Amino acid sequence: MAKQRFTSASTEERLKTCLEEFQVYLEFHNKSPNTIRAYLFAVRQFFELYPAMNLENLILYKCYLIDHYKPQTVNLRIRAMNCLVEFLDLPYSKVPMVKHRNRSFLENVISLADYEYLKNCLLRDGKLNYYFAIRLMAGTGLRISELVQLQAENIWLGYIDLHSKGNRMRRVYIPKSIRYPCLKWLRESGRTTGDVFLNRFGQRITANGIRIQLNHFATIYNLNPSVLHPHSFRHLFAKNFIERCSDIAMLSDILGHESIETTRIYLHRSSTEQQQIFNRVVNW
């Protein structure tokens, strides 16, 4: 029945039903909330552009993506459609990913100096919610979607167990340099259980809420907004970890990467560092 819906022109109601079924399928296979949102967006976009699900339209969609997006986004949406093909048990083969060369440098990573400056500003201004948010992202490598899941109990335990892609469980430890002051903050706030990061209504803060605040901090503290995004702190963690501990396999496990090749980018310097070294060395 699902195959019939997608291989013929779909009404809005039929598409809605199929998206709901596809979401259940993704949740059953332990896809993260962010991945599910991205996959559902790709499916909606596909059916806004093409009336039917078939191999010819999938190839056309791939061409459209290549013309409009970066390779990383192209491959994410191709993965979404390939997953839909698998869900529907369609007879044709999956669409191949686009190939792109890995960068030999990191981009838009906050410097350690700017990170320390931001920490001091947030602590000085009593913005402890965001002070501990950036410290935990920079000190654990947690993704923003994982950070907002943190419970007070995790801080007491000193770790959080997370399910990564492929239904793999990884344990992320909270270093005592962050854990102890965070516990003190929670005690003084009268909280021993429940969500660590709350909004002004006392509810779990959203990832988007943190992103908006980081943009605000970039303005009021005169920081480059291109480096003040949640993933920048994950990059900072990985970059500093690999400089102090050369165990790239351990770093890959901590970050929850499917392949150690993904982690190898952290062996490279940031583009800013490369430029600084180049300017210092090349003086002829």
Beta bridge partners of 151: 195
32 close to 40: Cβ distance less than 8 angstroms: no
Model confidence pLDDT, tens digit, residues 48-85:
888 888 888 898 898 888 878 878 888 999 999 999 99
Containing 17, the helix (H) or strand (E) segment is helix 12-28
Residue 187 has pLDDT above 80, yes or no: yes
pLDDT band for position 37 (cuts 50, 70, 90): very high
Domain match, 120 and 244 both: yes
Residue 166: give the domain boundaries: 112-281
196 close to 151: Cβ distance less than 8 angstroms: yes
More confident: 7 or 155: 155
Domain match, 177 and 263 both: yes
Domain count, the chain: 2
Asked whether residue 106 is domain-assigned, the answer is no
Model confidence pLDDT, tens digit, residues 75-120:
999 999 999 999 988 887 788 887 765 554 466 788 889 999 999 9
Q: pTM score, two decimals?
A: 0.61
Asked whether residue 94 is domain-assigned, the answer is no
For the residues 204-218, what does the mean pLDDT come to? 91
Asked whether residue 107 is domain-assigned, the answer is no
Domain match, 116 and 203 both: yes
pLDDT band for position 267 (cuts 50, 70, 90): low
Q: In 28-53, which positions are buried (b, 16+ CB within 10 angstroms) versus exposed (e)?
A: eeebbeebbebbbebbebbbeebeeb
Token pair of 228 as six digits: 């003040």
- CATH number of the domain bearing residue 247: 1.10.443.10
Which range, 99-108, 189-198, 231-240, 268-277, has the best average confidence (pLDDT)? 189-198
